[in-house]
Structure 1
Amino acid sequence: MRTRRLILPLIPLSLAGLVLAGCATTIALPTETSDTSGGSQTSQSETTVATTTDTTAEAVLAANENATVVRDDEWSASDASEITLTGDGATTSASGVTTEEGTVTITESGVYRLSGDLTGSVVVAAPDDALVVLILDGVTITNADGPAIEVVTADDVAVSLAEGSTNTLSDASSYADDADANAALYSAADLTITGTGSLTVAGNGNDGIAGTDDLAVLSGTITVTAVDDGLRGEDSVSIEGGTVSIDAGGDAIKSDNEEEDTRGYILLEDGAVDLTAGDDGLDAYTDIVITGSTLSVAASGDGAHADSVLVVAGGTVIVTESYEALEAPAVTIEGGEIDITASDDGINAASPTSTGGGMADTGETIDVNGGTVVVRAGGDGLDSNGSLTMSGGSLTVFGPQGARGDGALDANGAFAVTGGTLVTVGGAGVAQASGDSSTQPWLSATASGSAGDLIELVDDAGETVLSLTAEVSFSTIVISSPDLVADAEYTVMVAGESVTTVTEGTATIGQGGPGGQPGGGAGGPGGGGQRL
């Protein structure tokens, strides 16, 4: 884990909120009180939080190396030389193309239109300053011994999918451990995929589409199956449009440059991206930035994991299955529609170097500044090993049930709500509400109900301030909203029945009263933990 431009020296601050754990209910109070069962409340008076630099999408992208992309206006299809694949070779009049034993080799810069079938491979071995454009116009390339298309040398390469064309690439069933080229479409140069046709890629031995530099998708319909990673660009992966469907045994989309801290990132700007992964849906060694796109993930690992910053600024993000849905040392939500499900934490701010244990604020951040976010979590809904702040947008957390001591909200450091609408519905393992750093009204109530029950918050004039349908059984509700009035009384209705009355800025206390300790720290139940 590199701390680049993210974590600055720790600064002591007063704790923004108190977390109380009772045997039957968990109550969050804004001030120190006594336990109604005769015990004393445990609280912390001081902690440390990290000051971070700007983690907005604009700032993160500006700090990273710009990706190299071949735009459609940089070349013309009218300049294309025709290459007709003929089973075990090819016919062409182009001077820079040779054929030998099933290998078609392109050695000159230029635009080439490929059609037909080939049992073998297409290899680009052009000068280091060459721009090579491959227009795939109804090709099927199958290679039992290696990649279907391999770029050995060139400056930039574009694969353009001709309008109305269907193209298929399939590679070897296995690769040597030391093989450099180990994907059905492999490039040792910057690679751009464009056009309006379709491309189906079977990565039988390792990755589907992979490169050592930048990998960009501008358009087209791309379907990838791979035994390991689906799309992998070492320096970056960017998707600006098109339809991308990936079913990968490893990570669906990955960028893994471990040597340069301005690379190794993933950018989703537009298009439809549908991912199924045996590991992570998105995995970046540095940053993940989502400014557009419609992203859908079903992953055995994390829905999206970044080792530095993860930002969602727009688009739609749906994670239907994951261990942790969104994870990075710094997670920022600026906008978009986000609907995520996780067996553990929904949004987790933890560092890869976390060793677990303790309640210390280690500098991680979760910032919700906009957007509409719905979280369904088996562990903590939002879990930060550092601070957790909300200044805008809408955030709804369903779960957890509290069996492990997890909670809807868990921050080791400062927790502040200054804007937006926050609702948590779940068990009473650890419920945390905002504290001294918050400027927006809030309340916490003990109110039991089942999935499907309508929850309503009614003011003293009988007007409904907020309503939603519970998706889980629950015993604790936390609400913060600009529509709440300071010191006013509200009635919580569940399935049409009044269950409790609570005053803004306070919390109801159920049987057993407030007790014990705050939610777990890194690595323990309720904590941010470490990347496994």
Structure 2
Amino acid sequence: MNSRSIFKKSIVVILISAFFIAGFIACFRFFTSNSKSGRSFDAKSVPHSQIPYEITSTITLNGKKVNCDKKYVSQVSNVAMITEGGNYCIEGYLDDGQIRVFTADEEVTLILNGVDLRCLNMAPIYVESASNVTVYVPDTTTNSITCAEIGTYESALEAATYTNNSTNEASAETSENKDTPVTKKGVIVSECNLSFKGGGTLDVFGYMRNGIHARDSLYLEDTTINLTTTNNGIKATNDIIVTSGHYDLASVGDGLQADGNLTINGGTFNITTGQGSASIEKKSETPPTFDGAGMSPDAAFGNSGMPPMPPENANFGDSGMPPAPPADANFGDSGMRPEPPADATIDESDGSMSSDDSEDSADSSGSGSSEESKKKTKKSEKLSRKAIKASDTLMINDGSITIDSADDGIHADNSIVINGGSIQIASSDDAVHADNSLIVTGGKLNITDCCEGIESINIDISGGDISVVSTDDGINASGKKAEPIINISGGKVYVNSEGDGIDSNKNIVITDGEVYIDGPSNSGNAAIDVGIEDGGILVIKGGIVTAVGMSDMLDVADESSTQQSLTYVFDEYLNEGGIITIIDNSGKLISQLTLKKNCDSIIFSSPDLVEGETYTFTCGDVEGTLEATKINATNHESFQMNFPGPTTTDASKKDSKKESKKESKTDSDSE
């Protein structure tokens, strides 16, 4: 064998060996990166020269261990303890461990420079003692912090699943535990003020309770935070102030929650709570209709909406009343029907009863303990799924916010103030709710789906662009703490509701702005509804108001109004797609609108209307006139408390007028 052949074989052996070694290394990396720890995250770091802090110490995470180049950090088991103030740069991967801060009232900055930190049974970052702590995430870096295993999250999410037939909400069992130590209450937990800065990215996976929890105040700026958690996403025991940043929050509980005040001055938010608004059947306070809709097939009550009278040949005897129970009916000594047992529980929703006996039988059949069911129900009532929530005042000055929530979209136990920003909400309950007052001065609020759109005791709208689509009331002022009132003095308001369009349990005052309401087509609600029973009135002093709906519950403007309004009820029901026009004596078009729903009435007010003028209302071949003889001119007859749905009298009246009009037209044609 010549030397040339030997050389070739040597080259082949070397190449095969190289491929084998490379393959081994690749396989090793693959299996280690996808080991039991589930690590697949590729963190990105930057050189220390790009970090705008003088680094006190660098903490290097090496899989199972923690290394530090200075004495300020001590390690006990898998916990790295920072004991003095300063700027600590954290880098690398830790499979199961914790960074803990315990200083004597000093400031600490934690620089996350390409970190993949995991902890199975406690918060991966826990600030036990310090004056203030800042988490700095350098630009272009990517970081991941995970608490517990994903199985916990999946269980919580499964418990948060709603179905139309489900009556139990998710139990907080998986994410709430009173016996859990403070170090287990989230992914990043701080007992002092906590700030986030820097333009990098931080992924937070909270498979055990909250994601980020500051037990003082919390400040958010610049950072991109992608968060998934079994309970609250970002929470502060005191205030939260957001200046900027990007926040994608998916939480089983509340998304962004402050037990004090919450202020948003900027930033981009995408928040989903529970499994979103579509996971729950919308709540509704809309009264039922009695025209057969929603009833069993054999329960059609006709146009009257009332149950049918008994047949004329029904044999009730001389009294004319239904027969009494037979004399041998066993009602005991009292002669009355027996009372339900003392231990019976009555379901308020359907009036059904159950007793301890029935619960015991349920247990024996394997359906679960009633005591456990009560506990679960109690816990479920505590689990809140609001997207943005404050216990005091919630203020939005700017920012872009998109919400899909299984509870209220924006909620405050006290007040909400919206001065700016772009907000889009889909909610299974109220889109925006404040217990006391709600003020809108600017911004764009687009509510695409909800039960009630905007709700509070005192609602004041002076600016902004508001659009509401709701299955119940669009804008609702109600409550017992004070007299409800809705003031609209500017901005643009559009409501498309299945319940009342704009509803106040007392007064509604409109002094400026543009208000357009596509009210309900069910006659149990109105486009504009005031609390007449409590002395409430609708006052129109300015602006442009257009409200279409049904006339059964119609409220007209009060005579104390200072701008001319017209409330007109058509002789016939108008169908969706029809075009209503309002024309003055000179033939000038005052207003024109296309109907999105069936209706029979319109309230219209504008500075263009003139007292004493006669106006013509048309929709297809339906036409009528109304003279503005007074400030609140109307052809509407006095308010009557009717059952929902057109009564026989109302229906006959409209049908009679319709037939009369046809006959008149026929006679005119023959002439």
Q: TM-score, normalised by structure 1?
A: 0.72
Contact 1:89–1:104 (CA under 8 A) maintained in structure 2: no
Report the alpha carbon displacement of residue 370 of structure 1 after superposing the two structures with TM: 1.1
Report the alpha carbon displacement of residue 150 of structure 1 after superposing the two structures with TM: 4.0
Task: Name the CA distance, whole Å, in 2 between partners of 1:373 and 1:336.
Answer: 8
1:276 matched to which residue of 2? 404
Q: How does 1:12-51 map to 2 (within 5 A)?
A: none
Judging changes above 3 Å, is the alpha-carbon distance between structure 1 residues 114 and 494 closer, same or farther for their aligned structure 2 residues? farther
Contact 2:540–2:557 (CA under 8 A) maintained in structure 1: yes
Report the alpha carbon displacement of residue 388 of structure 1 after superposing the two structures with TM: 1.4
Aligned with 2:515 (options 395, 398, 407): 395
Contact 2:408–2:428 (CA under 8 A) maintained in structure 1: yes
**In the alignment, structure 1 residue 307 sits paired with structure 2 residue 431:** no
Report the alpha carbon displacement of residue 403 of structure 1 after superposing the two structures with TM: 3.5
**In the alignment, structure 1 residue 378 sits paired with structure 2 residue 378:** no
3-state SS in 1 of match to 2:53: helix
Q: Which protein has greater RCO, CA pairs closer than 8 Å, 6+ apart?
A: 1
**In the alignment, structure 1 residue 184 sits paired with structure 2 residue 184:** no
Report the alpha carbon displacement of residue 287 of structure 1 after superposing the two structures with TM: 1.1
2:425 matched to which residue of 1? 297
3-state SS in 2 of match to 1:323: coil
RMSD (Å), alpha carbons: 2.9
Judging changes above 3 Å, is the alpha-carbon distance between structure 1 residues 506 and 266 closer, same or farther for their aligned structure 2 residues? closer
1:33 matched to which residue of 2? none
1:19 matched to which residue of 2? none
Report the alpha carbon displacement of residue 400 of structure 1 after superposing the two structures with TM: 1.4
Judging changes above 3 Å, is the alpha-carbon distance between structure 1 residues 111 and 240 closer, same or farther for their aligned structure 2 residues? farther
Contact 1:158–1:194 (CA under 8 A) maintained in structure 2: no
3-state SS in 1 of match to 2:121: coil
Report the alpha carbon displacement of residue 146 of structure 1 after superposing the two structures with TM: 3.9
Report the alpha carbon displacement of residue 431 of structure 1 after superposing the two structures with TM: 1.8
Aligned with 2:560 (options 412, 432, 437): 437
Judging changes above 3 Å, is the alpha-carbon distance between structure 1 residues 111 and 302 closer, same or farther for their aligned structure 2 residues? farther
Report the alpha carbon displacement of residue 92 of structure 1 after superposing the two structures with TM: 4.4
Q: How does 1:297-376 map to 2 (within 5 A)?
A: 297-351=425-479, 363-376=483-496
For residues 77-123 of structure 1, give each alpha carbon's deviation from its aligned partner in whole angstroms, at most 9, with x where no partner exists: 33355545444454444655445554444444444454544445655
The one-letter code matched in structure 1 to 2:242 is V
Report the alpha carbon displacement of residue 345 of structure 1 after superposing the two structures with TM: 1.2
3-state SS in 1 of match to 2:490: coil
The one-letter code matched in structure 1 to 2:477 is A
**In the alignment, structure 1 residue 420 sits paired with structure 2 residue 543:** yes
The one-letter code matched in structure 2 to 1:203 is T
In structure 1, the gaps of 5 or more residues are 1-75, 257-263, 355-361, 521-532
3-state SS in 2 of match to 1:371: strand
**In the alignment, structure 1 residue 77 sits paired with structure 2 residue 52:** yes
Report the alpha carbon displacement of residue 318 of structure 1 after superposing the two structures with TM: 1.2
Contact 1:400–1:408 (CA under 8 A) maintained in structure 2: no
Judging changes above 3 Å, is the alpha-carbon distance between structure 1 residues 247 and 113 closer, same or farther for their aligned structure 2 residues? farther
Report the alpha carbon displacement of residue 390 of structure 1 after superposing the two structures with TM: 1.2
Task: Name the CA distance, whole Å, in 2 between partners of 1:121 and 1:215.
Answer: 28
Contact 2:549–2:599 (CA under 8 A) maintained in structure 1: yes
Report the alpha carbon displacement of residue 144 of structure 1 after superposing the two structures with TM: 3.5
For residues 147-206 of structure 1, give each alpha carbon's deviation from its aligned partner in whole angstroms, at most 9, with x where no partner exists: 4544444444444443334444444433443245341111112111112x42111112x1
Judging changes above 3 Å, is the alpha-carbon distance between structure 1 residues 280 and 503 closer, same or farther for their aligned structure 2 residues? same
3-state SS in 1 of match to 2:402: strand
The one-letter code matched in structure 1 to 2:390 is S
Judging changes above 3 Å, is the alpha-carbon distance between structure 1 residues 200 and 435 closer, same or farther for their aligned structure 2 residues? same
Judging changes above 3 Å, is the alpha-carbon distance between structure 1 residues 287 and 433 closer, same or farther for their aligned structure 2 residues? same
Aligned with 1:226 (options 244, 248, 251): 251
Task: Name the CA distance, whole Å, in 2 between partners of 1:200 and 1:476.
Answer: 49
**In the alignment, structure 1 residue 486 sits paired with structure 2 residue 611:** yes
Task: Name the CA distance, whole Å, in 2 between partners of 1:247 and 1:318.
Answer: 16
Judging changes above 3 Å, is the alpha-carbon distance between structure 1 residues 152 and 477 closer, same or farther for their aligned structure 2 residues? farther
Task: Name the CA distance, whole Å, in 1 between partners of 2:642 and 2:147.
Answer: 53
Judging changes above 3 Å, is the alpha-carbon distance between structure 1 residues 446 and 292 closer, same or farther for their aligned structure 2 residues? same
For residues 300-333 of structure 1, give each alpha carbon's deviation from its aligned partner in whole angstroms, at most 9, with x where no partner exists: 1111111111111111111111111111111111
3-state SS in 2 of match to 1:376: strand
Task: Name the CA distance, whole Å, in 2 between partners of 1:293 and 1:129.
Answer: 37
Contact 1:210–1:231 (CA under 8 A) maintained in structure 2: yes
Contact 1:239–1:269 (CA under 8 A) maintained in structure 2: yes
Contact 2:506–2:530 (CA under 8 A) maintained in structure 1: no
3-state SS in 2 of match to 1:207: coil
Report the alpha carbon displacement of residue 298 of structure 1 after superposing the two structures with TM: 0.9
2:139 matched to which residue of 1? 163
1:50 matched to which residue of 2? none
3-state SS in 2 of match to 1:77: coil
More deviation, 221-230/455-464: 455-464
Write 1 or 2 for the structure with the bigger share of strand: 1
Q: How does 1:452-467 map to 2 (within 5 A)?
A: 452-467=577-592
Judging changes above 3 Å, is the alpha-carbon distance between structure 1 residues 161 and 489 closer, same or farther for their aligned structure 2 residues? farther
Judging changes above 3 Å, is the alpha-carbon distance between structure 1 residues 131 and 314 closer, same or farther for their aligned structure 2 residues? farther
Contact 2:418–2:440 (CA under 8 A) maintained in structure 1: yes
Write 1 or 2 for the structure with the bigger share of helix: 2
Q: TM-score, normalised by structure 2?
A: 0.58
Aligned with 1:202 (options 208, 215, 228): 228
Judging changes above 3 Å, is the alpha-carbon distance between structure 1 residues 271 and 493 closer, same or farther for their aligned structure 2 residues? same
**In the alignment, structure 1 residue 214 sits paired with structure 2 residue 239:** yes
Aligned pairs, number: 425
Report the alpha carbon displacement of residue 296 of structure 1 after superposing the two structures with TM: 1.0
Report the alpha carbon displacement of residue 401 of structure 1 after superposing the two structures with TM: 1.9
In structure 2, the gaps of 5 or more residues are 1-50, 153-173, 186-208, 275-384, 645-671
2:594 matched to which residue of 1? 469
Contact 2:507–2:530 (CA under 8 A) maintained in structure 1: no
Task: Name the CA distance, whole Å, in 1 between partners of 2:527 and 2:541.
Answer: 21
Judging changes above 3 Å, is the alpha-carbon distance between structure 1 residues 468 and 209 closer, same or farther for their aligned structure 2 residues? same
Q: How does 1:95-244 map to 2 (within 5 A)?
A: 96-120=72-96, 125-127=101-103, 129-172=105-148, 173=152, 174-178=174-178, 179=180, 181=185, 182-195=209-222, 197-204=223-230, 206-244=231-269
The one-letter code matched in structure 2 to 1:443 is L
Percent same amino acid among aligned pairs? 29
